[in-house]
Structure 1
Amino acid sequence: MHKIVLTTLATLGAAGIFGLSTSTTTASAATSKVNSYISSKNITPAKITKSIWNGFPKYKYRHGKGKPEGVVVHETANPSSTIYNEIAYMKNNYQNAFVHSFVDGSRIINIANTDYLAWGVGSPGNSRFVQFEQVEVHSKSAFAHEVANAAWYTAYLLKEYNLKPNDAAYDGKGSVWSHGSVASHLGGSTHTDPVGYYSATGKKYFGQGYTMAMFYQMVKKYYNGFSTSHTKLVNATYTSVNKQAKLSSKYKSYYLYNHVKGSNKNATKQSWSKISPKVGKTYYIDMTAKKSTGSMWYRIRPSKNSTKRYWVYSGNLTSIKDVATTTATATSASVESSNASAASSSVASSSSSN
């Protein structure tokens, strides 16, 4: 397995084995044979496999849970390992270092919750970025597929956290980083990955060294694709209601939103702390939204008269009741009880007179 270098609290992740200058990553993004190959072969990136392990520690980013500032691209520097070997090793050694996900030529496997920081680049980078590792592959097709997977996943993460593509290699201010760029601009490490791996593997299989600048062009291509076809909005039918429900124990598997996800271009994740989440606690629903895909969403309020409203997927809630019906039933029961008392009094009065 790859060598881990310790630092204070946050440790360094896998490093590149080639001692190349990080200036390589700032080279002009000339026509890339790898990128052209990906396009000509119509390579489709792999789907994300979520295999979250709860053993990883959960620390918030410097701006809070679910608020990373960019994505760091790593490479394992181990030519003989597999993606599953790397994942197993990281679980056994997470006290030293861990990342959020692993990528190879056919898989994207997410193993740690990206809403919390990982220990892959040392301080201060750990508190700022989502991080993933690329496993070394050994064929022309596998490398092209891996680059496609890594670039697509980077673009996906940027979209997921409402970040715009910006190559950090030039000035250390951006959203797309190599481990080398973090080391160069922020410190905390002396590693340069994936620069060496990209350069050597590109030359070996395509006759041209691959660079982070070329990788960034693929990230932008996928990101722009998300802005059109991938993020096409679906219709939703909205209905005003007066209901209440309890928060389900499953709520941590979902997210809180300011708009219905997928039906509004401005829909973004919100912190659960905004509604003081507690399993079994009652929240009030003033509107429902049924998406054309069939899923149901509810707009909830933390308290009956609160002006704060947030959208949640139906899976977050349980024991949904109609408030109006509940009130009416209670009133009806009160009337019936009153009538029964009156009738009883009448009977008692009649009995006395007899």
Structure 2
Amino acid sequence: MTTDEMRDKHVPSKARFDGVSVNLTVISSIIISVLASIPAFYFLGIWFGALTILLGTIVLYFLFYAYFFTTIQKVPESFEWIIEFMGGFYVVWAAGGHMYFPFFGWITQREEIFLGEDEIELFPDPKDLIDLEDASCHFKAAIVVKVKNSLLAVYNIDNYKDAVRKRVAGLLRSHLSKYTLDKANEEKHELDLGFIISSSKTDPDWKNKPFYLEILNDWGVELLKLMVFDLELTAEDIAARRRKQEAIINKEVAEINKDIKIINAEGDAEAIKKMAEAHLVELKNEGLGIEAQIKSLVSIDKLTVEAATALVTDRFKWSQIGDKSLIIEGGNSGTAGEGAKFGAGMQKGNNL
């Protein structure tokens, strides 16, 4: 059958007992009655033989019919059965009970088709990865479909679910190849069927695109909705991202430590500067004391400037020694004499 012929013949039947089964039942009843009436023809004559055939046919027909009640096929709601007669398409059974001729395997069920919304997983294999711009990961996604023509879904494609899965999965794979991992994770719930078919979120005409129409018109399947639930990274990518995050954290910590060192160094420099300034003031104060002592020795003790400077300088040195011992070699040395003079001069200054 051509595609157009299958569209024309897709008229689900609700008949409880179809014509072919009726004809087969009648023919079978007649044949059995004829065979059973041969002895009547031979022993009782033509009239009894003909009467045997007539009665036998009627009785057998009702017996067959009663038997067929026990073999009623019940098609569930929202399903259709594709029925074949001797290998070729015969009829589409709608939901409900159907009696048929069960002998010899002449009438058989080819396929049961669900007419409601059906969810098809796009990437059932967890090792099936999609290559993004910066990573490879497994997507948990599904396409929701609905069979509009069961004949096309059965006879125009070997397995319509597998065919739809491959087509939509390939389109989604191509679309996501332009995404980074972060973008795919952020926008995974915003991916819809119209967007990946037309590459536009605002295209109202996406159902007229060849991709959509081919699946609908040739396979009898309507694409309803795309659902992306989650994405899973490989162990290698997880480890790589963890290393990257650790490197970023280490860099941030290093920058913080660097800032702390700079702050500490600036604080140390400021402290050193203030200590130097304090020391400078101390030195200036000490310098003023030395100058005053020299002037006192010159004016009061009538020492020369050179002698007074030497005395004050030596005294300053001794004061720096503290409680350390001072060893003077040679009791009559000039240093001792000058020290005595200095002591006398200081005593004289105090008395004044």
Pair in the same fold by TM > 0.5: no
Which one has a larger percent helix, Structure 1 or Structure 2?
Answer: 2
* Larger RCO of the pair (alpha carbons < 8 Å, separation 6+): 1
Greater C-alpha Rg: 2
How does the TM-score come out when normalised to structure 1?
0.24
